[in-house]
Amino acid sequence: MRTALDCPFSPGSDTIPQVWAGRTAQLSDWRDVLRPRRIAGLPERGRTILGEAGLGKSALVRRIARDGAAAGDWVTPQLRMPSGSDPLKLVARALLGLADRAGLPTSREKRISDLLSRVETVAAQGFSVTLGHQSGPEPFTALTDLLVEIGRAAIRQGDVAVLIHIDEVQNIDDKDSLSQLLISLGDAMAYETTATAPGGVEFPRSLPLAVYLTGLPDFAGAAGADKGATFTRRFKTTTLAPLGNEDLASALQPFVADGWPVPNGEGGIGRVRMTPEARDAILQACCGEPFLFQLAGEQAWYAAETEVITREQVIAGWRAARPEAAAHVERILQRLPDSERKFLEAMARLAPEDRSLTRIAEAAGYPGASSAGPTSQRLDGMRGIIARGKRYTFRHRAVEAYLTSDWPEMA
């Protein structure tokens, strides 16, 4: 009944999971705010979705992009930024694809053909293009101008948004090319063209352009420090946190209630069910992490071939997943600066009721609470790993479980 071809769980594959959990606020933001406002010509900032590895940033925006494409929007592929790559090249190639969708290559205007030629040069040479290589605007200006033309074409099409998704933005380590990219995207989103209302009244309107940037939390500090108010004014940043058990239980409810439909091998449809105890075991194992949720579900699926997933099968499957789960959290901790990791370790050694900033600072060897303040602020506001208050708590429950218990062991 349960085979690899039928498994609806997909950990770490950058695909949209069939078993989707949570992120309703971000999905609603696209559906009810960002998309309708941009299509209506109203100004709206781009979105930056950040968070630690495994929180489903890329999958979230891929789902948004899929929903947009299904509604007829013009959507770029997921533009992953490898370390050391030239972001202007990758974005230029994607914009040329959107230009094809918009029908710009068929234009007879010399201005459009010259612009496309310029962007083709950027796609080939990237940031290294200068006025000395070829007459015309700087690379970021050419990208901005093409985005504007694509936006105008979308207006003519009607009820169409243009969605650009740039992933792994923390890998853009060249400050100049990052600056050019952010300015180009921001200028295009801020650009106003003239529209005509019934009766011949002209009015300014924004282009239907929506930009999503996704990556690790470090990007917020780098972009904010280097670009200051320009970046924060043009992009709204959300730092994802692990999911609540309610969201995860809701995602597994189809298994518990009606069963998950799969081919039965006889030309019909069978159903794989899950006991409530098995559901609770998956929630216990994953600690709210979307990646670990998919991993626990996948291994439970592979643990047997019966029609019902039991708690014993979840535990057996998780036993095989424990090394990967532990390595996942270890990578998060290893990537942190020493000061932040030591703060978390000190916080974990204290009982929950003793986790005040003063006690944590003392346990971590700081001369006083004020010295630990900046570190705690980064762990809260930028990384979303802890929550500050009178008593400090862990938001990232997998990090907490790893530091304070024998997790990923599970009885």
Angle between helices 87-102 and 175-190 (to 10 degrees): 30
Rounded Cα distance, 49 and 214, in Å? 5
Residues 6+ apart with CB under 8 A from 49: 26, 57, 60, 61, 212, 213, 214, 238, 240
Q: What is the pLDDT along the chain (411 residues), one digit of tens a residue?
A: 789 999 999 997 778 999 999 999 999 999 999 999 999 999 999 999 999 999 999 999 999 999 999 999 999 999 999 988 889 999 999 999 999 999 988 877 888 888 888 888 888 876 665 544 455 568 888 899 999 999 999 999 999 999 999 999 999 988 888 888 999 999 999 999 988 877 778 889 999 999 999 999 988 776 665 555 577 788 999 999 999 999 999 999 999 999 999 988 777 899 999 999 999 999 999 999 999 999 999 999 999 999 999 999 999 999 999 999 999 999 999 999 999 999 999 999 999 999 999 999 999 999 999 999 999 999 999 999 999 999 999 999 999 999 999 999 987
Rounded Cα distance, 23 and 214, in Å? 15
Residue 164 — φ and ψ, nearest 5°? -120, 125
CATH superfamily name and code, 24-239: P-loop containing nucleotide triphosphate hydrolases (3.40.50.300)
Topology alike, domains 24-239 and 336-404? no
162: left (phi over 0), alpha (psi -120 to 50) or beta: beta
- Record: fold of 336-404: Arc Repressor Mutant, subunit A (1.10.10)
Contact call for residues 278 and 310 (beta carbons, < 8 A): yes
Parse the chain into domains and list their residue ranges.
Answer: 24-239, 245-332, 336-404
Query: What predicted TM-score, i.e. pTM, was given to this entire model?
Result: 0.90
CA end-to-end distance (rounded Å), the chain: 27
Rounded Cα distance, 279 and 265, in Å? 26
Rounded Cα distance, 147 and 38, in Å? 14
Strands in 297-381 per DSSP E: 308-309
